[in-house]
Amino acid sequence: MTQVAVVSYGAGNVASVQFALERLGATVRLTADPVEIAEAERVILPGVGAAGYAMSRLAALNLIAPLRAFERPLLGVCLGQQLLFERSDEGDGVELLGFIPGAVKRLEPGAALPVPHMGWSRLTRDHDDPLLAGVEDGAYAYFVHGFVCPDGPATVARADYGGPVPAVVRSANRWGCQFHPERSAQAGAAILKNFLGLPA
């Protein structure tokens, strides 16, 4: 049975992620223990709210070093995807985990669209990736975010919200979903199932 450590650091709705994974047959451990995270088979880094607060919580719990050193599959969800990048323009600027080059910026979709981006948007794949196996081009995913990651070589799939929104990113063994797969019906369940099946 696949084992997953979900990082519980006070900046994410871990319960919905836990339940979604357990429905797929995974054994889930909610943890903020650096040793458990370092030794996990795979890790999910959730997140909601502010990047600065999230990074301060990770620092206070001594989780930044084990996350940066983790070499097995890691999935950042929502704010967790943004934390994979180098920095955020939120406030006076925040240093993030630094796996993917670039700065996370405030979402500015134009006057016709509200911020945050909240609701269902279609995914358009940039290229194939095992995380998206069985997910149709144009599948819907559920988004809630007010900042957006830079679009670049790490982008695997995009949504459109007054401009391109990197919806799935990847750098080596680290993936990110800007949307909430645990709330994204069949497409989200397929992505989580694919994550559980990635070679550890």
Query: What is the per-residue pLDDT across 54-91, written as a single tens digit (0 to 9) for each?
Result: 999 999 999 999 999 999 999 999 999 999 999 999 98
Query: Which of 90, 117, 145, 182 is flagged as catalytic?
Result: 182
Q: What DSSP element (H or E) covers 94? A: strand 94-95
pTM > 0.85: yes
Q: Which fold has domain 3-197?
A: Rossmann fold (3.40.50)
Known catalytic membership, residue 182: yes
Query: Which of 78, 117, 149, 177 is flagged as catalytic?
Result: 78
Round the average pLDDT of the chain to a whole number and report it.
96
Burial of 163 (0-12, 13-18, 19+ CB in 10 A): middle
Q: What are phi and psi of 17, to 5 degrees?
A: -65, -45
Known catalytic membership, residue 180: yes
44: β partners: 6, 75
For residue 144, give both structure tokens.
């809630």
The residue whose two tokens read 């669209």 is: 113
The string of pLDDT tens digits covering residues 96-121 is 999 999 999 999 998 889 999 999 99
Query: Which of 117, 145, 149, 180 is flagged as catalytic?
Result: 180
The whole-angstrom separation of Cα 123 and Cα 137 is 6
Known catalytic membership, residue 117: no
- Type of residue at 51: A
pLDDT attached to residue 1: 66
Q: What DSSP element (H or E) covers 36? A: helix 34-39
Which residues have C-beta within 8 Å of that of residue 60, sequence separation ≥ 6?
Answer: none
CB 40 within 8 A of CB 52: no
The whole-angstrom separation of Cα 194 and Cα 186 is 12
- The structural domains of the chain, with segments of one domain joined by +, span 3-197
Q: How many residues does this entry show for the chain?
A: 200
Burial of 198 (0-12, 13-18, 19+ CB in 10 A): middle
